[in-house]
Structure 1
Amino acid sequence: MDSLFASKYEKYKYSGEGWIGDIPNHWGILRLKSLFREKKHKSNMGLSCGAISFGEVVQKSDEMVTDSTKRSYQEVLSGDFLINPLNLNYDLTSLRIALSKIDVVVSAGYIVLNELVSINKEYFKYLLHRYDVEFMKLLGSGVRQTINFNHISGSLLIYPPFEEQLSISKFLDLNCSQIGQAIQIKERQIELLKERKQILIQQAVTRGLDPHAAMRDSGIEWIGEIPAHWQSRRFKYLFSQSQLPVRPGDGVVTSYRDGQVTLRSNRRLAGYTEAILEGGYQGVRKGQLVLNSMDAFEGAIGVSESDGKCTPEYVVCDALSDDYMPEYFAYLLREMALARYIQVICNAVRQRAVRIRFNNLASRFMVVPPIEEQRAIVAHIKAEAEKQGTAVALLEQQITKLKEYKATLINSAVTGKIKVPGVVEPAEIQEREFA
């Protein structure tokens, strides 16, 4: 990328602000209130409602906003800078400053800025992004840590010559676009790997591993044909419902939507679905088949990796014979869920009042390969999943590095740590004039 060829400026000076550091000697240092003013509130009922979403001004539905509320909203036009100053301590990951590309109205709680001097808005979009990430979120006070224009008006910002602002913004637009495209390609590769994994599991649990096996109709609508030597048996003849007591010291076991069933303490808390009913826990043991009655529809079905306790919202099952491998049936039931067949048998369209119970499954037919094939299928799926997981982890690391590189590139360019191609320093101009 072009950044690899960027050079340094000849002379630097300290900006007076820690997050900015040293800047080129000829760049200006101004307070935010010398560059921007807070725009006066102006209502406009003819515009759609909007908001900031991760550094972009976006439209949002007007349906939930009453006319009286909308009248209190303020106008934001294309070219205005918009700041979300609310609850800075609540969300530290979202980007809270945006250069609007659309005309909308937003809540009166937002801060809208207009420029007081001639600026390249694209350059200041990048600069204010770094200001947001590095400094603004440290401001404010109170439980909700909310700020107003007065909190930010005295902040130091840098002001390069206009032509350099233009060169830096063009440089960043090009390089950030290239980085974004690289990230999108890798994200799509991750999606394809996950899709391939799902297809592999679906084929393995319903077709087996022998592509030349004779096939027959399973009589199960969502499955279709299965190997001719496989059986079809009702779930109640394969598994019984467990009702184990809770033991002292049992930790809480959670069934996650990705199929893992483990102690909640083994996994970060973000992303799990809390059962509504928390009383009357039941015991669960390692190796048991577990379905989250609320989220089985979304694939929260697996084999417990841990001893512990779980809510009565979970359906815990024991195999009735060593010929029925819980891991295989967990994969099969997850395929039923992802094919929306579990929704059908529960007469549910993902309503919170509806649960899947053991009785919903009891009379349903399951395909049953010989135990040797069940073991081979599970081993095959785990091996392929491990390969896929390694590939996904590598791509995710590459995405993380690209995002880190992008952040470093933006910071280095907007604060003058690098001199982007096309920038000519005043000293160089003088040399050319006297040459």
Structure 2
Amino acid sequence: MTRVEDVTTTPWFRGVPLDWEAVALGRLASPVKRTNISDAPLLSLYLGEGVVPYKTDRVVHATSEDTSAYQLVLPGDLVMNNQQAWRGSVAVSELRGIISPAYVVCQLSCRLDRRFAGYLFASTGARFPYVNSSRGVGDIQRGLSWPLLKTRKFPVPPIEVQRQLADYLDGETARLDTLIKEQQHLIEMLRERLDAEVDSLLGDPADARSTTIKRVIQPLTRPARPGLGVVTAFRDGVVTLRSNRREGGYTFSDTESGYQEIRPGDLVFHALDGFAGAVGVSDSHGNATPAYHVCEAIAGDDLAYVAALLRYLGRSGFLATQAPNVRQRSVDFRNWSTFGRLPLKLPPVKEQHRVATRIAEQSAKVDRLIRESERFVELSRERRSALITASVTGQIDVRGMV
């Protein structure tokens, strides 16, 4: 047995009660490789969600057609994402099913309460041993080395204390999760309300002229500018630098071969994702992949209106009906000639300005409310994470609390 006081130089052991043990992971969990059971449901491990049924709409977790090498996971197993454990993609499964052989699956020791283990191994503090036991460089290519990881020590209280902590955290995290879900539902409702209002402003305009995209906008050709950030068209119609939203979950090119410059005021349409709303007027200066059509107006039409109309046509399903090549979750408009032939109905420019201004005003109001809700969600998640880490390191005395 290793006493906690002997490892207090490790950051997350500082302040851990002296009657707790410091136990190597290899004594708490053992890797297992079980034979795939053909009738078992397919599972995956998603950051922040734990082990859940496989979701077909998650491209990052595309499954192999041949699942014969997949591992059987049982309730109570510890599952770790080999490359994303350091980000918190670790969970104790509550489900039975099969999972990709790329995951590390372990059977827990009887020294651990299953619920406590779930909190312990997914806590912020646990990321230190995951990072220190990973091979490779950078945020994407981290791979766990079990020979290293199994020697890393974790704080383990007496089993009765584990159960008390799990009871306490079950109640507190459930309360926070409910608040988070309520705010997320509010965000969805606000976005749906805004989309409905925008649709009413764009639908069936009076005195409209029939035309095509290539008569309204034209593509711009600019080489990438070194040193600029990457611009992305998001599905909510915002075109901005990735750094203004999030960096995680993207694959960056080392050479930016074929990238193009985007300037504020450019109309940007994602040729593969525009059908789902990824089109708008850029608010940023940066570079983007050649999958985007970067355009300017030909004859004075309002680009904000045109972008809103294209987004409306995408979300309504019209663009999908016009695509020559439809793939799973994607509609391909990379060919400019094909894209340029799409029909549009545009009202007079004065009416375009009025509608675009109205959309901008309503969007600003909704965006302000959404930012407030997103900030609440962010703070609640931070509170949840801090609460778990404090609990599994003994900073919260739960005796008599539950």
TM-score interval for Structure 1 and Structure 2 normalised by the shorter chain: 0.7 to 0.9
2:210 corresponds to 1:234: yes
| Residue 297 (structure 2) aligns with | 318
| Structure-2 change in CA distance of 1:408 and 1:317 (3 Å) | closer
Structure-2 change in CA distance of 1:261 and 1:78 (3 Å): closer
How far is 1:299 from its partner?
Answer: 2.6
Cα RMSD between the aligned structures? 4.2
Distance 1:284 1:236, change over 3 A: farther
Give the stretch that moved more between structures: 122-131 or 48-57. Answer: 48-57
* Residues 299 and 40 (structure 1), Cα distance of their counterparts in 2 relative to 1, 3 Å cut: closer
User: In structure 1, what is the Cα distance between the partners aligned to 2:259 and 2:25?
Assistant: 58
Q: Distance in 2 between matches of 1:284 and 1:28?
A: 56
Q: How far did residue 390 of structure 1 move?
A: 1.3
Deviation, structure 1 residue 110:
2.0
Matched, 1:169 2:161: no
Residue type at the aligned position of 2:305: Y
Give the letter for the 1:393 counterpart: R
Partner Cα separation in structure 2 for residue 163 and residue 353 of structure 1: 58
User: Which of 26, 37, 59 does residue 45 from structure 1 map onto?
Assistant: 37
Question: In the TM superposition, what are the counterparts of 1:150-165 in structure 2 within 5 Å?
Answer: 150-165=147-162
Amino acid at match of 1:45: I
| Pairing 1:326-405 to 2, within 5 Å after superposition | 326-349=303-326, 354-355=333-334, 357=336, 364-369=343-348, 371=350, 373-405=351-383
Distance in 1 between residues matched to 2:348 and 2:388, nearest whole Å? 57
Seen in structure 2, the aligned counterparts of structure 1 residues 231 and 288 have a Cα distance that, compared at 3 Å, is: farther
CA displacement at 1:403 relative to structure 2 = 0.8
Tell me the distance in 1 between the aligned counterparts of 2:248 and 2:389. 30
TM-score, scaled to structure 2: 0.76
Q: Which amino acid aligns with 2:311?
A: R
What amino acid sits opposite 2:360 in the alignment?
K
* 1:81 equivalent among 74, 78, 82: 78
Amino acid at match of 2:97: V
In 2 relative to 1, CA 24–338 (structure 1 residues): closer, same or farther, beyond 3 Å? Answer: same
In the other structure, the counterpart of 2:20 is: 27
Give the 3 Å change call, closer, same or farther, for CA 174–268 of structure 1 in structure 2.
closer
- Please report how far the alpha carbon of residue 188 of structure 1 lies from its aligned counterpart in structure 2 after TM superposition: 0.8
- Count residues in correspondence: 378
Query: 1:198 matched to which residue of 2?
Result: 195
**Offset from partner CA, 1:27-59 (integer Å, 9 cap, x none):** 34433344x252554425355254433363345
Change (3 A) 1:122 1:347: same
- 1:83-127 CA distance string (max 9 Å, x none): 34x335xx743422x22222334428624133153x322122212
381 and 413 in structure 1: CA distance in 2 versus 1, 3 angstrom threshold = same
Q: Which has the larger radius of gyration?
A: 1
Note the C-alpha offset of 1:180.
0.5
Question: Structure 1 residues 18 and 46, CA, compared in 2 at 3 Å: closer, same or farther?
Answer: same
Structure-2 residue corresponding to 1:101: 94
Partner of 1:414 in structure 2? 392
Q: Counterpart amino acid of 1:173?
A: D
Distance 1:140 1:295 in 2: 34
Question: What's the secondary structure of 1:19's corresponding residue?
Answer: helix
DSSP-derived class of the 2:382 partner: helix
Give the 5 Å matches for 1:134-145.
134-142=128-136, 145=142
Q: Deviations over 1:331-359 (max 9, x none)?
A: 22221121121222345535665546466
Alpha-carbon distance between aligned partners in 2 of 1:175 and 1:108, rounded to the nearest angstrom: 33
Moved more, 294-303 or 232-241: 232-241
- What residue identity is the alignment partner of 1:77? L
Is the contact made by 1:82 and 1:111 (CA closer than 8 Å) also made in structure 2?
yes
**Structure 1 residues 139, 420: CA separation in 2 closer, same or farther (over 3 Å shift)?**
same
Contact 1:111–1:149, Cα closer than 8 Å, also in 2: no
| CA distance in structure 2 between the aligned counterparts of 1:187 and 1:29, rounded to whole angstroms | 38
SS in 2 for 1:416: coil
Q: Does the 8 Å CA contact 1:289/1:317 hold for their aligned counterparts?
A: yes
**Structure 2 unmatched ranges of 5 or more:** 57-61
- Separation (CA, whole Å) in 1 of partners of 2:342 and 2:103: 57
- Tell me the distance in 2 between the aligned counterparts of 1:122 and 1:301: 44
**CA shift at 1:300, angstroms?**
3.4
State the identity %.
Answer: 23
Q: What's 2:59 paired with?
A: none
TM-score calculated relative to the size of structure 1:
0.71
* 3-state SS in 1 of match to 2:397: coil
Residues 278-321 of structure 1 show CA distances to partners (whole Å, capped at 9, x for unaligned) of 7697x98765645444433233333455789985962635242x
Distance 1:155 1:344, change over 3 A: closer
The offset of 1:408, in angstroms, is 1.2
* Alignment correspondent of 1:113: 107
Ranges in structure 1 where 5+ consecutive residues have no aligned partner: 1-11, 207-222, 425-435
What whole-Å deviation, never above 9, does each CA across 1:364-390 have from its counterpart, x for those lacking one?
A: 35141461x432322221122111111
